[in-house]
Amino acid sequence: MSILVDGNTRLLIQGITGREGSFHAERCAAYGTNVVAGVTPGKGGELFGGTVPVFNSVRAAVGETGANVALIFVPPPFAADAIMESADAGVPLVVCITEGVPVRDSTFVMRYLEGKGTRLIGPNCPGLISPGSKAKIGIMPGDIHTPGKVGVVSRSGTLTYEAVDQLTKAGIGQSTCVGIGGDPVSGTTFVDVLELFNDDPGTEAIVLIGEIGGTKEQQAAAYIKEHVRKPVASLIVGQTAPPGRRMGHAGAVITGEAALASAKVAALQDAGCHIIPTPADIGSTVAAMVG
Amino acid sequence: MKLHEYQAKELLARYGVPVPEAYVASSAAEAVEAAGRLGGRVVVKAQVHAGGRGKAGGVKVASDAADAGRIAGSLIGTTLVTAQTGPQGAPVDRVLVEQTVDIERELYFSVITDGGLRRPVVIVSSAGGMEIEEVARETPERVLTEPIDPAVGLQPFQGRRLAEALELPAGAVRPFVALAEACYKAYMETDASMIEINPLVLTKDGRLLALDAKLSLDDDALFRHADALALRDTGQEDALEVEASEANIAYVKLDGNVGCMVNGAGLAMATMDIVKSAGAEPANFLDVGGGANEEKISTAILLMLSDPSVERVLVNIFGGILRCDIAARGIVDAYGKADRQPALVVRMLGTNADEGKQVLADSGLAIELVDTLREAAEAIAR
Average pLDDT in the A249-265 region?
77
Nearest one of A136, A120, A43 to A88, comparing CA atoms: A120
String of b and e for B153-169 (b: at least 16 CB within 10 Å)? Answer: ebeeebbbbbbebbebe
Record: contact B349-A165, CB cut-off 8 A: yes
The C-alpha atoms of residue B308 and residue A157 are separated, in whole angstroms, by 31
pLDDT by residue (tens digit) across A185-241? 999 999 999 999 999 999 999 999 999 988 889 999 999 999 999 999 999 999 888
pLDDT by residue (tens digit) across A146-195? 999 999 999 988 999 999 999 999 999 999 999 999 899 999 999 999 99
Record: contact B269-A237, CB cut-off 8 A: yes
Categorize the per-residue pLDDT at A95 as very low, low, confident or very high, splitting at 50, 70 and 90. very high
Indicate the residue of A103, A248, A257 with minimum beta-carbon distance to B133. A257
> Which residues from B are below 8 Å from A104, CB to CB?
113, 150, 188, 191, 218, 221
Q: Is the pLDDT of residue A249 over 80?
A: no
What class has domain B21-100?
alpha beta
Q: Are A209 and A154 in contact (CB under 8 A)?
A: yes
Set out the domains of chain A in order of their start, with CATH numbers: 11-121 (3.40.50.720), 140-290 (3.40.50.261)
- Å between A197 CA and nearest CA of chain B: 21
The C-alpha atoms of residue B17 and residue A101 are separated, in whole angstroms, by 29
What is the model's pLDDT at position A253?
Answer: 67
What is the model's pLDDT at position A251?
Answer: 67
Look up residue A141 and give its amino acid: P
Give yes or no: A249 in active site.
yes
All structural domains of chain B with their residue ranges:
1-19+102-234, 21-100, 238-381
What is the model's pLDDT at position B135?
Answer: 82
The C-alpha atoms of residue A20 and residue A18 are separated, in whole angstroms, by 6
> Which residues from B are below 8 Å from A247, CB to CB?
250, 252, 265, 268-269, 285, 287
Record: contact A248-B268, CB cut-off 8 A: yes
Indicate the residue of A239, A245, A252 with minimum beta-carbon distance to B273. A239
Interhelix angle for B324-337 vs B353-362, to 10°? 20
The contacts of residue B80 (CB under 8 Å, 6+ apart) are B46, B48, B50, B53, B56, B57, B58, B89, B90, B91, B92
Domain B1-19+102-234 has CATH 3.30.470.20: yes
Q: Are A210 and A183 in contact (CB under 8 A)?
A: no
Indicate the residue of A105, A110, A241 with minimum beta-carbon distance to B269. A241
What is the model's pLDDT at position B100?
Answer: 95
- Between the alpha carbon of residue B320 and those of residues A14, A211, A278, B291, B325, the distances in Å are 21, 21, 23, 9, 12
What is the model's pLDDT at position A246?
Answer: 75
Average pLDDT in the A104-132 region?
97
What is the model's pLDDT at position B31?
Answer: 97
What is the model's pLDDT at position A254?
Answer: 65
Task: Name B192's bridge partners.
Answer: B217
Q: Is the pLDDT of residue A243 over 90?
A: no
Name the H helices within A14-157.
19-31, 58-65, 76-88, 103-113
Sheet holding A11-14, edge to edge: A47-48, A52-55, A35-39, A11-14, A69-72, A93-96, A119-121
End-to-end CA, chain B:
39
Give B238-381's CATH code, choosing from 3.30.70.100, 3.40.50.261, 2.40.50.100, 3.40.50.980. Answer: 3.40.50.261
Chain B from 149 to 178: CB within 8 A of any A CB: 149-151
Mean pLDDT, chain A, as a whole number? 94
| Mean pLDDT in consecutive groups of 10 residues from the start of chain B, 382 residues | 96 98 97 95 94 90 96 95 84 96 96 92 90 81 93 97 96 97 98 96 96 95 93 87 86 93 93 94 90 90 94 92 90 94 92 91 92 91 82
What is the model's pLDDT at position B234?
Answer: 86
Cα–chain center distance at A23: 19
Task: Name A163's bridge partners.
Answer: none
pLDDT by residue (tens digit) across A69-83? 999 999 999 999 999
What is the model's pLDDT at position B370?
Answer: 93
What is the model's pLDDT at position B155?
Answer: 98
